[in-house]
Amino acid sequence: MITGGIDFKINSSTTLSGDVIGIFYGKDKINENDAYSAGAKTIFSLQFRQYYGYNNLVIFLRYRNSAVDKLNGLADIITSEKINPNSFMAFANFKHYISRNLTFNYSVEGRFYQKTVAPYSGFNIYGIGFTSNIELSSAFTLPLTIKYYTGKTKGSSSINGLELGLGLVIIF
Asked if 112 and 86 count as a contact pair (C-beta separation under 8 A), the reply is no
In tens, the pLDDT along 10-48 reads 999 999 999 999 999 888 888 887 777 778 999 999 999
**Does residue 113 carry a pLDDT above 80?**
yes
Residue numbers of the domain that contains 145: 2-170
Length of the chain: 172
Q: What is the predicted pLDDT for the residue at 79?
A: 58
pTM reported for the whole predicted model: 0.83
CA-wise closest residue to 149 among 161, 163, 164 = 161
In tens, the pLDDT along 101-111 reads 999 999 999 99
Asked if 126 and 160 count as a contact pair (C-beta separation under 8 A), the reply is no
Looking at residue 155, which CATH number applies to its domain?
A: 2.40.170.10
For residues 83 and 100, the model is more confident at 100
- Name the DSSP letter for residue 119: T
When divided into structural domains, the chain yields a total of 1
The phi-psi region of residue 113 (left if phi > 0; otherwise alpha if psi is between -120 and 50; otherwise beta) is beta
Percent of the chain with pLDDT over 90: 69
Asked if 111 and 142 count as a contact pair (C-beta separation under 8 A), the reply is no
Side-chain-side CA neighbours of residue 74 (13 Å): 9
3-state secondary structure of 70: strand
